[in-house]
Amino acid sequence: MNDNRLAFVTGGAGFIGLHVVNQLLDRGWNVRIFDNMVRGDRDRANELATTRGVEVIDQDIRSGGAVARAMRGATHVIHLAADSINKSQADPYSSVDTNMVGSHNVFASAADLGVQRVVYASSASVYGDPKKLPMHEDDELNPLTPYCIGKRTGEDLLRYYERRSGLSWIALRFFNVYGPGQKTTAYYTSVINHFVNRLRNGEPPIIDGAGEQSMDFIHVTDIGRAVVLATESEKANAPINVGTGIDTSVAELARILIDAIGADVEPQFNPRHVLVSRRAADITRAKEMIGFEYSVPVVEGMTDLIRFETNPETPAR
């Protein structure tokens, strides 16, 4: 790896960010974290500064001047910072300010400073409720919340700066990210936390309907690897799904977690009508453009997660 390559990582002290930063460092990158630490882990970021030479800048992407000053000298930009989907519905003003205005600050600075590549953390939520599976990058987009709308807007802004300034970019549409160290309030994996909490109390997981609702769970280690591959890829200028291509139903998830914990219970089904939403990524483009395929099967990943929560000293992936 060229020692002159410097990755500027917004949200680099967050759950996904720290995995990305560590994988970049392992591949010989220089790294500069830019994070307001609202959801970031300041202690772990400072530890990386002390032990691995990472620069840490405690600033907010909503400050365009701060972004532009801090980005100087960076060759690549990885934009992970965002308000959460939960917060976007409770406080749309903050969501729009961070996820749209903040993202624009990052992209505009990257274009003006001539960075070689921007990798953007988009989301499968831009699709809304899919009409078919698997979900392909060229499918109709129908974002339903300010968070999802902001993610789609970010992709549109990247296309604008590609046309205006020749900016090279990849937008990674993350599916349902999970893994050790994730906050229990994470929207798309809250069902995991709910089931685990009940199982640890000796209670069976309660499933609405027949449990046919499904998600495409992708381990955070694989997410980090996809980001690094996109940063180094020769191909660019497209959105790319990052998932496993497998839809795991809520009923299947309950069984996986019961077995991982070793609980002697059976799921209970709440017989009521639910809108069945299913998610699974078409992962063809990820393989063709950046050479990405997932490596952590959901059973293995969920078992790892339970082991980590039982003993946080256990090395995580």
d(CA 135, CA 284): 11
Domain ranges within the chain, ordered by starting residue: 6-176+218-243+281-294
Q: What is the pLDDT of residue 90?
A: 87
Q: What is the pLDDT of residue 272?
A: 77
Averaged over successive runs of 10 residues, the pLDDT of the chain (317 residues) comes to 84 97 98 96 97 98 98 98 86 95 98 98 95 96 94 98 98 94 68 87 90 94 98 98 96 95 92 79 98 97 85 56
Q: What is the pLDDT of residue 314?
A: 55
Q: Whats the size of the chain, residue-wise?
A: 317
Cβ neighbourhood burial of 252 (10 Å; 0-12, 13-18, 19+): middle
Q: What is the pLDDT of residue 1?
A: 47
Q: What is the pLDDT of residue 296?
A: 97
Taking domain 6-176+218-243+281-294, whether its CATH number is 3.40.50.12780 is answered by no
Annotate the chain with three-state secondary structure: CCCCCEEEEECCCCHHHHHHHHHHHHCCCEEEEECCCCCCCHHHHHHHHHHHCCEEECCCCCCHHHHHHHHCCCCEEEECCCCCHHHHHHCHHHHHHHHHHHHHHHHHHHHHHCCCEEEEEEEHHHHCCCCCCCECCCCCCCCCCHHHHHHHHHHHHHHHHHHHHCCCEEEEEECEEECCCCCCCCHHHHHHHHHHHHHHCCCCCEEECCCCCEECEEEHHHHHHHHHHHHHCCCCCEEEEECCCCCEEHHHHHHHHHHHHCCCCCCEEECCCCCCCCCCECCHHHHHHHCCCCCCCHHHHHHHHHHHHHCCCCCCC
d(CA 290, CA 215): 23
- What is the pTM for the complete model shown? 0.93
Closest alpha carbon to 116 in 78, 81, 82, 154: 78
Q: What is the pLDDT of residue 94?
A: 94
Q: What is the pLDDT of residue 87?
A: 82
